[in-house]
């Protein structure tokens, strides 16, 4: 009875060890797949956050463009009124050279005001561009910070199984030498 039990026990040990190695391998694969799925979900979340940020930024830009256009239109209407008032006063007073100087000063002031409006619009546009780039950079940094799943190799599992096979073979040889196998 002892002669049969030893080889069966060795075979059971081998089967248990191989089964354990295969279960461990499958567990590692499941963990890696879970990590890949988490990374995919996180990447999608980051993409959605950036898209919403870009949409919000585009809406803000549109509102700012409309506000700038309204300012320029109001300023242009005011400049036309000022010019008309000045022209009417010149026609009544007929001051000549002094009037021309005042007209030049009015033109310079209007030019400076318009340049300020244009400069403000350019500044807002530049800031929007920087904000857009910042949103993209934040998204890229978040994606880059995701931990890549561990590579699962069947090679290590195969080596483990081979090691258990060698142990089984040595056990069987020992049993044959001792006359039990």
Residue 76 to residue 111: CA distance in whole angstroms: 11
Secondary structure letter of residue 146 according to DSSP: S
Say whether pLDDT at 144 is over 80: yes
Say whether pLDDT at 1 is over 50: no
Q: What is the CA radius of gyration of the chain?
A: 41
Would the CA dihedral through 148, 149, 150, 154 be positive or negative? negative
Express each pLDDT in 24-36 by its tens digit.
889 889 988 999 9
Helices (H) and strands (E) in the chain, counts: 3, 0
pTM > 0.85 = no
Contact between 25 and 17 under an 8 Å Cβ cutoff? The reply is no
Domain boundaries, the chain: 2-178
Express each pLDDT in 37-86 by its tens digit.
999 999 999 999 999 999 998 898 888 888 888 888 888 888 888 878 87
């Amino acid at each position: 009875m002892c002669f049969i039990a030893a080889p069966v026990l060795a075979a059971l040990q081998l089967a248990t060890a191989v089964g354990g190695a295969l279960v461990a391998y499958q567990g590692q694969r499941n963990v890696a797949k879970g990590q890949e799925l988490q990374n995919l979900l996180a990447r999608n979340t980051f993409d959605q956050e950036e898209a919403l940020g870009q949409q919000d930024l585009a809406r803000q830009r549109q509102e700012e463009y409309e506000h700038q256009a309204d300012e320029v239109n109001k300023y242009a209407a005011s400049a036309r009124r000022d010019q008309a008032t000045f022209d009417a006063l010149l026609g009544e007073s007929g001051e000549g050279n002094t009037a021309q100087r005042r007209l030049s000063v009015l033109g310079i002031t209007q030019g400076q005001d318009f340049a300020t409006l244009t400069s403000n619009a350019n500044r807002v546009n530049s800031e929007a561009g920087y904000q857009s780039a910042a949103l993209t950079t934040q998204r890229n940094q978040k994606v880059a910070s995701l931990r890549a799943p561990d590579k699962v190799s069947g090679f290590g599992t195969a080596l483990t199984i081979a090691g258990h096979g060698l142990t089984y073979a040595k056990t069987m040889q020992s049993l044959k030498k001792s006359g039990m196998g």
